[in-house]
Amino acid sequence: MNILRRILNTHCLFHRLTGLYCPGCGGKRSVYLLFHGHPLLSLWYHPLVIYGLVVMTYYIFLMIRRKIFPVYQKKPYPTWPLWGAAILLFANCFLKNLMLVFFHIQPLSSNIY
């Protein structure tokens, strides 16, 4: 348990150097909260974690469908989930830094561990 606590308490080097949140800030907290049964808080800390699970489930469904039905084998995988992830990652980083710089609100400041 002590090793897990030590891993989870490591801080982002980008945040330490610049004072801003990087695109990945809040990701570990989000996974931690999701595994402890707090999906809404997980969504707040980093929405890409839950989005990633949904997209991963979708792609697994597509792969299973390709194996069962040969008709779908020539169809390419859709790329819209990847574009959605990129937009979500940018929006998350932009909005949290906007809150931090202009409104002095620290959206990732609470200690949940």
On the question of pLDDT at 1 being above 60, the answer is no
Q: Which range marks the domain in which residue 38 is found?
A: 24-102
What is the spatial distance between Cα 43 and Cα 109, in angstroms, rounded to a whole number?
A: 15
Radius of gyration of the chain (CA): 18
Tally of structural domains, the chain: 1
In this structure, is residue 4 part of a structural domain? Answer: no
In this structure, is residue 108 part of a structural domain? Answer: no
What is the spatial distance between Cα 38 and Cα 49, in angstroms, rounded to a whole number?
A: 13
What is the spatial distance between Cα 33 and Cα 38, in angstroms, rounded to a whole number?
A: 5
Span 93-102, pLDDT tens digits: 999 999 999 9
pTM score:
0.79
In this structure, is residue 7 part of a structural domain? Answer: no
In this structure, is residue 18 part of a structural domain? Answer: no
The pLDDT of 69-80, averaged and rounded, is 88
